[in-house]
Amino acid sequence: MQDITVEELKSKLDNKEDFLLIDVREEWEYQEFNVGARLIPLGNLQGTIDDLDEWMNQEVIVHCKSGARSAAAKNFMIQQGFTNVRNLLGGMVEWQTKFS
């Protein structure tokens, strides 16, 4: 699945589309700024992956600060059998550059 730009994500959020948005940053980063995603820090993802089974074949978008941690999260989720995982290109840095 193709990764996603901040413009595409904003459109999906504005249109209230059905997808799971996961923020893999640390809690302190999430507290500083977030777009309403479900917070699952990258270090906790392996332990919580079973809780996401219902999303196995649905769209999941992962993001972090710049895109590196979320790329690792995407790869891990694909290895676990998720079929539609997208990484937010540029992460929250790009989001804040465009929309803040």
Strand order in the sheet with 60-63: 38-39, 20-23, 60-63, 85-87
35 has pLDDT over 90:
yes
Q: Which neighbouring-strand residues pair with 20?
A: 60
Could you give the CA distance from residue 66 to residue 83 in angstroms, rounded to a whole number?
23
Could you give the CA distance from residue 57 to residue 88 in angstroms, rounded to a whole number?
18
In the structure encoding, which two tokens stand for residue 66, read together?
């710049």
The tens digit of pLDDT for each residue in 46-63 reads 999 999 999 999 999 999
The tens digit of pLDDT for each residue in 66-75 reads 999 999 999 9
pTM of the predicted structure, to 2 decimals: 0.97
Instruction: Say whether domain 6-99 belongs to CATH 3.30.70.1350.
Output: no
